[in-house]
Structure 1
Amino acid sequence: MDYNKQDIEFAFTILNHREMLDDEEVTEWLKDPAHLALMTDITVIRQKLSHRDYKKMKKEVGLHIKQEIRNDRNRRLITYWSSSVAAILIIGLFIYYSVGFPDTQDAINTKTEFAIITPGRPQARLILPDGNVKELDNLTRTIETQFIEGVKNDSLSGLSYSQVKIDTSNLSAAEIYNTLVVPAGGFYPIELSDGTQVWINSESELRFPVKFLSGKREVFLKGEALFVVKRDSTKPFIVNINNASIEVLGTTFNVNTYADNQCIYTTLVNGSIKFISNKNKQEVTLKPGTQSVTDTITGNTSIREVDVKNYISWREGRFIFDEMSLELIMCQLQRWYDIDVFYQNSMIKKHKFRGVINKDMPLEKVLDMISEATDIKFNVKNRTITIYK
């Protein structure tokens, strides 16, 4: 979207000379979603230039920002904040910008409050049948035990069991299991022996047969994972989760069983799956673009249509917050950045936001974006975040 010169000049007047404008005039101007987007653009671009001395170079910075908005709009990290938080956004901008851009020293003082908390990375532990634990790193290697050979760990594609061989002659059970545990601040991909691909999110674990030998392919999940199941009409694929199971033949779907949701969310990208609640024996069949929501207390399950990209974006390296409460946003950040979170009061948790953030950003930048658009503030000490207004 291109902005005209008058809109850009008016936005800069709000940011730098708020006292010159009438409150009703500003409020009316900001009712236009395009004007809100313009203010967001300026916020993001100003953050890129936070190292500059605005008192000495304000004119130059202003020209730079105007040019960035015209030529660089498609590269911004946050696109739009929802209309439901427009009033909060306006208040936040008035408070933050009524004193003008901060000078360099102020910016430095703010930065020193933050610990350097980096994004998550590929990391996991593999628990073998004999109880031994392998810490998986970024080295390519073959993992072998007394009964298993041919398991490969690659720095790019993760674990692969596609060429696995097992010796069951000395084992009491036909199928033997491994467990992949992904800690906070991590994620890990795996290819199962049948060619099914699974991406496992932070604070999650998957228990699976080293090789599928029985009449069904059965795995056990805690946390969240995205499955791309290899089709096999003779062997249904079953995902066992908290008091429920999912049956498929070949499809792509995401399962979220995190306890902070108090629900199980199963989102179907393509194909068809059946969700079965063990609590009340309710069965529902999902179509692409739908999601089942299961209450973990009652077992009751409902189906709704959703934008699936909001629920698989974590696999693609993004957070998509679509009318999401601050509490649920911080739960995602807590797992990804391996942090602890505390709230000044419970009402803060209910604030809702809409936006897109890249997962490779340092936590400081993510919190800055939320803080600059609202009246929410963050205090960071080591790996503990305190949220207040």
Structure 2
Amino acid sequence: MKKEEFLTLLNRYLSGDTNREESKKLLHFYESFQTSEEWDESLGSKEEIQNKMLHRIQTAIKAGETEVIPLRPFYTRTSFRVAVAASVAMLISITLLFNTAKNAKNNIPAIANKNILIGTDKATLTLEDGSVITLEKGKGYATGNASSNGEKLIYNAKNNPAGIANNFLTIPRGGQFFVQLADSTRVWLNSESQLKYPVAFVDGETRQVELVYGEAYFEVSPSTKHKGSKFKVKTQMQNVEVIGTEFNIKAYKDESTIYTTLVKGKVAVSNVTNKEILAPNEQSRISKSNDHIAISEVDVYNEISWRKGLFVFKGMPLKDIAKVLSRWYDTDIEFADPALGNVKFNGVLNKNQKLEDILTTIKNINFINAYEKKDNKIIIK
């Protein structure tokens, strides 16, 4: 492809004006240079073009132009660089293949006798005296120190007396919720999670909350706004100390590892015997079977995509994908053949899609044969 043709197609693609064949041609040209050193920099850097394409994808999702973002198989023998290239190509191909599930809905029988609902904003708030308030769309709630419109819970620092009273915010399977704490720290909670926190903080003293279980994304109010007070997040096996930063913690009860991913700033991750400092784009892993803290670089986009309304699976076994889907759709998923659970995929899915559409997509790439509902569970075959 000539330079002029590439730039013309790229501009049309970014404005959503290419047809299927033109988009595929652009994709193939870009994909062929992902692991090559022969890229013509006069076209723009590969990173710049990739970011523009990803922005176009995100815009398409928000505008409802896609229903399901198809999965691509992940081959364990593929080199890391090629796997990354395949992942990028898969992301870009969203606008090419978004009709896959729509065109094949009739290939698999519908799940009978049960409405499997898409997850939504909902939570329960447990007050210091044991009172439980249901928070969900269409229900408002207000007290002297907090208010909710059913989609988020906001604490008012001005009305919060200094003290040690704690609240619990619990998100069930099939839910997600946002809370802004009294110090203006913002927290997004994923399905099947619980956060314990004080209704007030005292400037100059350490601000501490506890992720009892589950997954949460923290955007911490800087210590400079609170007389230097640090912010700590406690989990079952670790403490995370921050000054002012953004990070994600995943500590589910049914998973053997706790993951902490740093997006911005600096955090110290510690347990009984070890302490490690994380830099942006690094992730710590602590196994529940030992005290070792392992650190590696990760793709932050993949790790925090749930907050943006996406599932991103990069080389993830189907059994782990099933856990994620089970939490969001509040239904159990099992495998008729346990070996199917070990098959790995790269893929991105929209959280606003029906579970049936997602399972249809997985079937269409020939990694499962069918699925059925049995005893209030989904059985993958």
Structure-2-length-normalised TM-score: 0.71
How is 1:239-318 mapped onto 2 (pairs within 5 angstroms)?
239-278=233-272, 281-318=273-310
The structure-2 alpha-carbon separation of the partners of 1:112 and 1:81, relative to structure 1 and needing over 3 Å to count, comes to closer
The structure-2 alpha-carbon separation of the partners of 1:236 and 1:348, relative to structure 1 and needing over 3 Å to count, comes to same
Inter-partner Cα distance in structure 1 for 2:123 and 2:282: 31
Deviation (angstroms), 1:136: 0.8
Q: 1:182 aligns with which of 171, 175, 187?
A: 171
How is 1:49-88 mapped onto 2 (pairs within 5 angstroms)?
75=66, 77-78=68-69, 81-82=72-73, 84=75
How is 1:227-246 mapped onto 2 (pairs within 5 angstroms)?
227-233=218-224, 234-246=228-240
Match of 1:334 in 2: 326
Helix, strand or coil: the match of 2:327?
helix
What stretches of structure 1 move > 4 A for 4+ residues in a row? 1-5
Deviation (angstroms), 1:374: 2.1
Helix, strand or coil: the match of 2:133?
strand
Deviation (angstroms), 1:384: 0.9
Q: Is the 8 A contact 2:71 2:345 kept in 1?
A: no
Instruction: In structure 2, give the amino acid aligned to 1:117.
Output: I
Deviation (angstroms), 1:375: 3.3
Inter-partner Cα distance in structure 1 for 2:182 and 2:153: 10
Once the two structures are superposed, residues 344-384 of structure 1 have per-residue CA deviations (whole angstroms, 9 ceiling, x without a partner) of 23222100011111001011001101111123132124741
Helix, strand or coil: the match of 1:230?
coil
The structure-2 alpha-carbon separation of the partners of 1:167 and 1:291, relative to structure 1 and needing over 3 Å to count, comes to closer
Match of 1:217 in 2: 207
Inter-partner Cα distance in structure 1 for 2:206 and 2:74: 48
Inter-partner Cα distance in structure 1 for 2:380 and 2:21: 37
Q: Is the 8 A contact 1:139 1:153 kept in 2?
A: no
Residue 132 in structure 1 maps to residue 125 in structure 2: no
Inter-partner Cα distance in structure 2 for 1:131 and 1:83: 47
The structure-2 alpha-carbon separation of the partners of 1:368 and 1:382, relative to structure 1 and needing over 3 Å to count, comes to farther
Helix, strand or coil: the match of 2:109?
helix
Instruction: In structure 2, give the amino acid aligned to 1:308.
Output: V
Q: Is the 8 A contact 1:223 1:256 kept in 2?
A: yes
Q: 2:182 aligns with which of 193, 196, 204?
A: 193
Q: Is the 8 A contact 1:124 1:182 kept in 2?
A: yes
Instruction: In structure 1, give the amino acid aligned to 2:149.
Output: D
Q: Is the 8 A contact 2:207 2:229 kept in 1?
A: yes
Q: Is the 8 A contact 1:206 1:220 kept in 2?
A: yes
Structure-1-length-normalised TM-score: 0.70
Once the two structures are superposed, residues 48-86 of structure 1 have per-residue CA deviations (whole angstroms, 9 ceiling, x without a partner) of xxxxxxxxxxxxxxxxxxxxxxxxxx8573256145189
Deviation (angstroms), 1:162: 2.8
How is 1:23-102 mapped onto 2 (pairs within 5 angstroms)?
75=66, 77-78=68-69, 81-82=72-73, 84=75
Deviation (angstroms), 1:112: 5.8
Q: Is the 8 A contact 1:260 1:331 kept in 2?
A: no
Q: Is the 8 A contact 1:175 1:213 kept in 2?
A: no
Instruction: In structure 2, give the amino acid aligned to 1:219.
Output: V
What stretches of structure 1 of length at least 5 have no aligned partner?
9-32, 35-73, 88-100, 169-173
Inter-partner Cα distance in structure 2 for 1:224 and 1:138: 21
Inter-partner Cα distance in structure 2 for 1:166 and 1:83: 50
Deviation (angstroms), 1:242: 1.3
The structure-2 alpha-carbon separation of the partners of 1:262 and 1:108, relative to structure 1 and needing over 3 Å to count, comes to closer
Inter-partner Cα distance in structure 1 for 2:67 and 2:77: 19
Instruction: In structure 2, give the amino acid aligned to 1:322.
Output: K
Counting aligned pairs with the same residue, the percent is: 32
Helix, strand or coil: the match of 1:81?
strand
The structure-2 alpha-carbon separation of the partners of 1:271 and 1:313, relative to structure 1 and needing over 3 Å to count, comes to same
Q: Is the 8 A contact 2:67 2:350 kept in 1?
A: no
Q: Is the 8 A contact 2:161 2:200 kept in 1?
A: no
Deviation (angstroms), 1:272: 0.5
Match of 1:322 in 2: 314
| Aligned-pair Cα RMSD in Å | 3.0
The structure-2 alpha-carbon separation of the partners of 1:383 and 1:359, relative to structure 1 and needing over 3 Å to count, comes to farther
